[in-house]
Amino acid sequence: MALFTTTEEKSLNLGVDIGGTSIYLVLMNKNENVIYEKKVKTSRQIKEIFRIIICFLEEANAEVEQLKFISFGVPGTTNMMDGVVIDAPALEWSNLPLKEEMSKYFNCPIYVENDVNCAAIGEQWKGRAIGCKDFIYLSIGTGVGSSIFTNGQLVRGSSFMAGEIGYLLFTPDVENKKYNKTGQFGMLESKLSGTALAENGNDPKQLFKDYYENVAEAKDAVNTFKQLLAISIANIVSLLNPERVVISGGVAQSLEGLIDDINEMVKEYTPIPSKIYLSPLGEASGAIGAVAAGLNRISEKEWSV
């Protein structure tokens, strides 16, 4: 049974957040309310992603014809104008024309955006950055990334690569001749991500659980993580002077008991004031933000007519 009595009205918007370990889908109606959402195992195969979307719509009692657009968030560098994924190491995608590929399956506008940019747009729309013109969104999940909003505008950079915090270098990296390379996780990313935390056989969620239960080994690992995170945020705050920093992503969901410590450490490391928050949107932030990014694109087209 269809969600509406007519399928002619394109009244639904679909956000698809493709992560390194999972895909999160959110279906929103014309009133900008979430009517169905789901998390599934990730895939890097276009046909499989198509199948996931079709199954999702069937479960939501919705039809493809009702979609006003599909907006994808991708963990990597994207050319949002052409819909091309330039580099997404977690998915092993390089110069993939995602918009073109998905347009073979769907007869509606297809939008492609960096997943962290999507999530930041979502925070400004329905999350912790409502009404905030200068903020940094920091995502810590399979990888690490950030998005920069200055004077209410998303900063993209000359090559659509602004905010790639995972590439930050520290002195030990250079001394050990460990440099950033295209197609690989960055130096900071290799220390601060969920992937990094799992390198010693630790499940990140279990690691933080053990930390809160005062397990010695977990305390050492998480304290090292916490300090590096605070240093990284302090450097960003010193450079960009954001009103606030919003943290989200899979690892961030375990940081609730640490956020006060992180705020205090950042205050100690830099004299530039800022406030660090955890996102209230949780895992859905990227997919909700993808819808917001799609709505922005439609609005831009309407204004240009």
**pLDDT (0 to 100) of residue 9:** 66
Beta carbons within 8 Å of 270's beta carbon, 6+ residues apart: 234, 235, 237, 238
Q: Kindly tell me the number of DSSP H helices and DSSP E strands found in the chain.
A: 10, 13
| CB-CB neighbours of 140 under 10 Å | 29
Q: How confident is the model at residue 288 (pLDDT cuts 50, 70, 90)?
A: very high
Which among 247, 253, 218 is positioned nearest to 230, based on CA atoms?
247
**pLDDT (0 to 100) of residue 301:** 53
Give CA angle at 71 (70, 72), nearest 5°.
Answer: 120
Pull the structure tokens for residue 271.
């004299």
pLDDT score of 137 more than 50: yes
**pLDDT (0 to 100) of residue 271:** 98
Question: The CATH number of 128-278 is which of 3.90.78.10, 3.30.429.10, 3.30.420.40, 3.30.230.10?
Answer: 3.30.420.40
Q: What is the pLDDT of residues 109-130, one digit of tens each?
A: 999 999 999 999 999 999 999 9
Query: Looking at the domain covering 12-115, what would its CATH class be?
Result: alpha beta
**pLDDT (0 to 100) of residue 6:** 39
Out of 21-30, 88-97, 193-202, 212-221, pick the least confident: 193-202
pLDDT score of 256 more than 80: yes
| CB-CB neighbours of 1 under 10 Å | 4
Beta carbons within 8 Å of 97's beta carbon, 6+ residues apart: 82, 83, 84
Q: How confident is the model at residue 133 (pLDDT cuts 50, 70, 90)?
A: very high
What is the Cα 239 distance to its own chain's centre?
A: 22
pLDDT score of 200 more than 80: no
Axis-axis angle for helices 115-126, 285-304 (nearest 10): 80
Residue 21 DSSP label: S
**pLDDT (0 to 100) of residue 21:** 87
Strand stretches in the chain, DSSP E: 12-18, 22-28, 34-41, 67-74, 77-79, 84-88, 93-96, 110-114, 135-140, 144-150, 153-155, 244-248, 275-278
- Please indicate whether the domains covering 12-115 and 128-278 agree at the CATH topology level: yes
Q: What is the mean pLDDT of residues 173-194?
A: 90
- How far from 180 is each of 95, 101, 175, 237, CA to CA, in Å? 19, 29, 13, 22
What is the Cα 245 distance to its own chain's centre?
A: 14
The dihedrals phi and psi of 160, each to the nearest 5 degrees, come to: 60, 25
Q: How confident is the model at residue 184 (pLDDT cuts 50, 70, 90)?
A: confident
C-beta separation of 242 from 272 below 8 A? no
C-beta separation of 63 from 7 below 8 A? yes
Tell me the three state secondary structure of residue 15: strand
Where do the domains of the chain lie? 12-115, 128-278
The whole-angstrom separation of Cα 99 and Cα 235 is 35
Q: What is the mean pLDDT of residues 200-227?
A: 90
Q: How confident is the model at residue 199 (pLDDT cuts 50, 70, 90)?
A: confident
